[in-house]
Amino acid sequence: MTYIIAEPCIDLKDGACVDVCPVDCIYGLDEDDVNQLYIHPEECIDCAACEPVCPVTAIFAEDDTPPEWDRFIDINYEYFGMSR
């Protein structure tokens, strides 16, 4: 399982999650051509350090992603050229 970044992060890219990630698996902060952050599904160690520091509650365990943001599971995987 991995963590997913959902809609509240769009156009925000706060970066607090990047600062606390012990394995540096969150991408997109320094990329001007993306509008949100993404968690690499194979690099994420499921530590949950990122979840509580998100200022907009955009990070969820994949299985706990709210139904209205379910599409962001695929969006996160696709960013890395993967499918779930």
Please state, as a whole number, how many other Cβ atoms lie within 10 Å of the Cβ of residue 34.
Answer: 14
Does this model's pTM top 0.75? My answer is yes
Q: Which two tokens stand for residue 40?
A: 């690499």
pLDDT of residue 46: 96
Per-residue pLDDT in tens (0 to 9) along the chain, 84 residues: 799 999 999 999 999 999 999 999 999 999 989 999 999 999 999 999 999 999 999 999 999 999 999 999 999 999 999 998
Domain range annotation of the chain: 3-79
Q: Map the chain to HEC letters.
A: CCEEECHHHCCCCCCHHHHHCCCCCEECCCCCCCCCCEECCCCCCCCCCHHHHCCCCCEEEHHHCCHHHCHHHHHHHHHCCCCC
Is the Cβ–Cβ distance between 3 and 48 less than 8 Å? yes
Q: Domain 3-79, what architecture?
A: 2-Layer Sandwich (3.30)
pLDDT of residue 58: 98
